Amino acid sequence: MISCHQHDYIEIACLYRLRLRLTLIDGETLEGIARDTGSRQGREWLTLSIGDEEREIDLDRIRRITALDRNPHFQTIDLA
């Protein structure tokens, strides 16, 4: 589970459709546009547009979020 403060940054990224680089716990990196967040039955995720595909990435799999677009809100967030 991530903190409310960290979740706020994810909501901002979705609101402004920021391009993000996600570094996952297993070392994989993904780049795409933040679209939405969701939660259901204890699962929380970020929907990321990668090319023509939309992927739901579980928040507990994300180690770091880096904004690839300049913005006044954040550059890098460490989640784990």
| CATH number listed for the domain at residues 4-78 | 2.30.30.100
Q: Report the pLDDT averaged over residues 7-22.
A: 96
The structural domains of the chain, with segments of one domain joined by +, span: 4-78
pLDDT reported for residue 61: 96
Strands 43-50 vs 29-40: parallel, antiparallel or unpaired: antiparallel
State how far the Cα of 25 lies from the Cα of 41, in Å rounded to an integer.
Answer: 22
pLDDT reported for residue 2: 85
> Residue 80: is its pLDDT beyond 80?
no
> Residue 12: is its pLDDT beyond 90?
yes
Q: Strand locations in 1-80, DSSP E? A: 19-24, 29-40, 43-50, 53-58, 62-67, 76-78
State how far the Cα of 4 lies from the Cα of 69, in Å rounded to an integer.
Answer: 23
For the segment 16-58, what is each residue's pLDDT rounded down to a tens digit? 999 999 999 999 999 999 999 999 998 999 999 999 999 999 9
